[in-house]
Structure formats: C-alpha cells, structure tokens
Structure 1
Amino acid sequence: MAENPDTPELGTGGSKKARIEIIPLIDVIFFLLATFVLFTLSLNRIESMETKLPVTSKEKPDRTDDEPLIVQVSDGNTVYIAREPSDMADVYARILHYKESTVNQGKVPRVLISGDDRAKYGALIKALDYAKAAGVEEISFETNYRLSGK
C-alpha cells in the first residue's frame, strides 16, 4: 500500500493544532442576550391593588357574648346556617334576619363563612355576596377543616 505524502502520519504529532474560535462564541452570547432581553420585555406587568393590612393590638376585643352566624357551604345547594340544614336560596334571608336581630340588640353582626371538603368555590363566593348584600361588614372565612353541619 502506497502512502500519501500529503497526509500526516498518525501518532507523529501532526501539523494542525486545536484552537478555540472566539467569533462564533461571541455570536452565541449576543444571541442569548437578545433573546432574554426580548423575553423580559414581553412579560406582562403585574398590577397591584393597595390594601390596608390589619394592625395587631395587645388587648383582645371582648366578643365572647356575640358569636358570629356560621354559614357552612357543602356540595350542591346544601348550606348549614347555624348548624341547621338549609338551601342556598335561603341564605340571604337568614343573614338579613340575623343582621336585623343583632343590630336591634346593639351588637355588631358578624358572619363566618366556612366550607367542608365537598364545597365548591363558587358557592362560597355566593354566600359571601349574600352576606355583603345583607349589609354585614364583619365577614370572615374559616380555614380549618370542619365536618358537614358541625
């Protein structure tokens, strides 16, 4: 077999050295930079709403005599108002009656809205809307788990 004099022999070290090309590397870096800049410009700005955070005090308000009306929402149209089964259509009338009776006694009406593990989010918001429409200003959501009707 005849050897080609133009090709270097293997193992002799060869005449070509490996080198790092810097120009393509700079091109890739500028491409990544431009991509991230365009991506961050296309992000939607988050709009915020100013809220008043509650301020804590060292003394607890004396509210042992006026328990809130508990409205517990369950699946379907089932609602427990003061631990009595009811229908979602009756929630507004019951909250309005509760508000009028507590205001006549000189107390502040308070409503606690709760949900069991089968409650739908929309039904909880509907109960909140009914309480607001009845004129109740102190409305709370219970975050602890509670069995249905308890």
Structure 2
Amino acid sequence: MKIRPATGKKARIEMLPLIDIVFLVLVVFIYAMLSMAVHRGLPVTLPQSASAAPEQETTLTVNIQADGEIFVNRQPVARDQLADHLRAAAAREPATTVVLFADRDLSYQQLFAVLDKISEAGLERVSLQAEAIDH
C-alpha cells in the first residue's frame, strides 16, 4: 500500500476578528477621553438646573464662595480689584469668556455686585454654571 504525504493547508491569521478588536479598543478609549472633563474652578455647591450643560472651553473662571470670597482662575482677588484684574486678563485675550461659579448660598446682592464688576471690566460673555438635576 502506498502512503501519500499529507499536503495540508498553510496556517493563516484571520484579519477580520483582529480588526474588530482594534476598533472596539479604539471606541473604548475615545469614550473614556470624552467623559473626562477639565474643570479649573474651585469646589463650590452649585445651584441645580434642568438645562445645565458643561462648558467645553473656558477662558477665565470666577468663583464666589458662600462667604463672599472671590477667586479668578484659583487666585484670590479682592472685590474692589476684580474689575481691574478682569480688564487686564481681557486685554491679553480679546474674546474672553467668563465662567462664573457662584455658591448656591450666596446672596443675590453679592452675585449682582460681582456681575457688575465683570460688566465694568468690559466683558460681555458670561456663563453662569449650575449642576444638572438627576432625574
């Protein structure tokens, strides 16, 4: 009896499952990067709003603590020097956007005093920040 040598097929690597896994890992990394938010403000207890959305691009952050203390980009600033400080920052960046983080326990009068100082500095683009309400 004559035995024939085995002529098997060559082994090959399937590319389709490999491509699927690469795209899955890519989607996971993209989703993880989009869920990370850059927040340069100091911690304050924000009021809640149903239409609150995170600010994507911030230029200048103003924080007002419950005790009335004011911070501009994490640096403490006296209320009477706030307009001058903001005016100097606006001179460096012409299209300055102010993102205002005010504590929910802050009085309405104190909030409007800071808004008046922002307006006095010539800044017109102001975004009041709030927490989204969990439904």
User: What TM-score do the two structures reach when normalised by structure 1?
Assistant: 0.45
Q: Which has the higher contact order (CA 8 A, sep 6+)?
A: 2
Larger of the two Rg values belongs to structure: 1
